[in-house]
Structure 1
Amino acid sequence: MDDYVAAAEFTGQTGAPLFRSLDRHRNLTERRLHRTEALLMIKRRARRAGLPYSLCNHSFRATGITAFLSNGGTLENAQRIAAHESPRTTSLYDRTSDEVSLDEIERIVI
């Protein structure tokens, strides 16, 4: 991030958008990056990496929140980090219950 800020010559600017759009010559503009532009950027990179088209910006948010909670973080702190007003919103991104433990698998008896 420091390299991006230095290369974009943002250092010392306050109130300016951090993530900016590009013009047709691929130069940074003063205009903030629109959410659809960010989504299209994610989709392009996911396709090049061979990842599913369903990947989106929220996939990264869910991964970050899930990793934080899996490593002992609290829902309250995850809520603060994600800047959510409600812990219910943060819990929507929690994928820790998606994992099935070996103990649960061993319950299957044929």
Structure 2
Amino acid sequence: MPCHRTFDAYLHAYLEETVIAGEPKGPLFRTIARGTRQLSTTPLPQENTYAMVRRRARAAGIGTAISNHTFRATRITAYLKNGGTLENVAVMANHASTRTTQR
């Protein structure tokens, strides 16, 4: 997936500092095992990630409503504004039709 070079660096650092790099089929965002302060193999529930995004947006002074989907929409918009094709975006977004992507 195309991504900003800064995000790419952060993501690789995260993967290298965790056990996740050795588990390519495992979840990217995970819960922390009780009493261990270590990542578990259990995926972080969607509602938890949504709450985390909202908390961090508020802490950053972002007053606009924001969610996990905001990042997806922003990525698609940025890709298109930088010359990406609608067909590639539809594949990236896992949309069956480019009509869905155009919305």
* Aligned residues between the structures: 92
Larger radius of gyration: 1
User: Percent same amino acid among aligned pairs?
Assistant: 43
**3-state SS of the aligned residue for 1:54?**
coil
Amino acid at match of 2:25: G
Which residue, out of 17, 22, 28, partners 1:12?
22
Which residue, out of 84, 87, 95, partners 2:98?
87
Contact kept? 1:21, 1:30, Cα under 8 Å: yes
**3-state SS of the aligned residue for 1:38?**
helix
Contact kept? 1:79, 1:90, Cα under 8 Å: yes
Which residue, out of 40, 49, 52, partners 1:38?
49
* Mapped pair 1:64 → 2:75: yes
**Which residues of structure 1 form unaligned runs of 5+?**
93-110
Say if 1:89 and 1:8 are closer, same or farther in 2 by CA, change over 3 A. Answer: same
TM-score for the superposition, normalised by structure 1: 0.72
**Which residues of structure 2 form unaligned runs of 5+?**
1-10
TM-score for the superposition, normalised by structure 2: 0.76
1:24 Cα offset (Å) = 5.1
Please, which moves more after superposition, 55-64 or 82-91? Answer: 82-91
